[in-house]
């Protein structure tokens, strides 16, 4: 037993201050400012994502930003929504200049990776994914205080392939804003950044712009502005209102019009709540959560008679968790 415990100890590259979460060497993903490792929650016996954000350079430039980012991630940890990656724990390693936070992990990786693996996806499925992302955005934007993601793209949206459930992640760069809903820091991925992000004054509508580009990538499997050879060219195209070539090539008029609404002028962009009511989503339900349970009850009711159906219904509505 002692030897097994020693092997387990060696398997972790490090553990969190409480000893609950362990980090393995395997890397799940790389971002512009962070690295994500495979982790394990020893208390619950589940795999998690261990995120490490290096803050040393940021701390040298403006020490107050470290505390601000730490406070923001702690607030994000309090978010609970079916379509937002859950936060478990966050802590700051001041000696190493690293912000660590533990999140849930989706078994099929990012939506970009998933779409690359599965090239034949129906319009219905694409709309379901798009709707789920919007539901997550609406939760962020209607939160008090308002939360702006600022770096929404298909590599920051994750999917459980066995259920089709989509979740927004990479919230460590999100901005928590006051009642005027304005933020002032330039952050993001150039292909998905709204023009006003470069002016350093913007609102949550920048996420709607990024969302439109996400939908474009989901449909075409192309990065927006893939025709541009440099970040400078992307900047000039975005700030001059030149749409990506992939949008101009899109044949479906309904899809093209929907994306154009999302990436229009800031004052004309609809909110996430407005888009959820758009005719684009008529007939598209999110059956990954409650409605799926209802279907489960109906199927079991039909298979084994009214008695079994009633029993399952009662179990689902009791205080105990069945599934």
Predicted confidence (pLDDT) per residue in 8-37, tens digit: 555 899 999 999 999 999 998 876 567 899
Alpha carbon distances (Å) from 93 to 100, 104, 117: 7, 21, 37
Q: Domain 2-104 adopts which CATH fold?
A: Phosphorylase Kinase; domain 1 (3.30.200)
Predicted confidence (pLDDT) per residue in 232-289, tens digit: 999 999 999 999 999 999 999 999 999 999 999 999 999 999 999 999 999 887 665 4
Predicted confidence (pLDDT) per residue in 190-219, tens digit: 899 999 988 768 899 999 999 999 999 999
Every domain of the chain and the residues it spans: 2-104, 111-281, 289-323
pLDDT of residue 315 exceeding 70: no
- Predicted pLDDT at 260: 98
Mean pLDDT of 153-168: 95
- pTM to 2 decimal places: 0.77
CATH of domain 111-281: 1.10.510.10
Residue with more model confidence, 45 or 31: 45
Residue with more model confidence, 163 or 320: 163
- Predicted pLDDT at 31: 63
Catalytic sites, residue numbers: 170
């Amino acid at each position: 037993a002692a030897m097994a415990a020693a092997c387990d100890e060696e398997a972790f590259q490090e553990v969190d201050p409480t000893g609950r979460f362990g980090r393995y060497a395997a890397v799940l993903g790389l971002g512009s400012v962070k690295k994500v490792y495979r982790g394990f929650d020893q208390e619950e016996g589940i795999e998690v994502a261990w995120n490490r954000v290096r803050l040393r350079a940021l701390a040298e430039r403006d020490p107050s930003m470290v505390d601000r980012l730490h406070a923001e991630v702690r607030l994000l940890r309090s978010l609970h929504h079916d379509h937002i990656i859950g936060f478990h724990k966050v802590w700051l390693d001041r000696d190493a200049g690293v912000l660590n936070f533990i999140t849930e992990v989706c078994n099929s990786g990012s939506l970009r990776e998933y779409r690359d693996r599965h090239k034949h996806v129906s319009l219905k499925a694409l709309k379901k994914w798009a709707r789920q992302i919007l539901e997550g955005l609406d939760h962020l934007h209607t939160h008090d205080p308002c939360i702006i993601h600022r770096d929404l793209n298909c590599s920051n949206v994750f999917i459980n392939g066995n259920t089709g459930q989509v979740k927004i992640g990479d919230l460590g760069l999100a901005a928590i804003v006051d009642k005027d809903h304005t933020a002032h820091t330039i952050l993001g991925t150039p292909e998905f950044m709204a023009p006003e992000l470069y002016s350093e004054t913007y609102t949550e509508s920048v996420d709607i712009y990024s969302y439109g580009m996400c939908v474009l990538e989901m449909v075409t499997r192309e990065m927006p502005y893939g025709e541009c050879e440099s970040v400078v060219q992307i900047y000039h195209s975005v700030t001059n209102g030149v749409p990506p070539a992939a949008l101009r090539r899109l044949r479906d008029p309904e899809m093209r019009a929907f994306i154009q609404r999302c990436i229009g002028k800031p004052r004309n962009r609809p909110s996430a709540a407005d888009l959820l009511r758009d005719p684009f989503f008529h007939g598209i339900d999110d059956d990954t959560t409650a409605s799926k349970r209802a279907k489960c009850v109906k199927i079991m009711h039909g298979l084994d008679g009214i008695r079994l159906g009633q029993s399952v219904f009662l179990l689902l509505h009791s205080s105990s968790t069945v599934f």
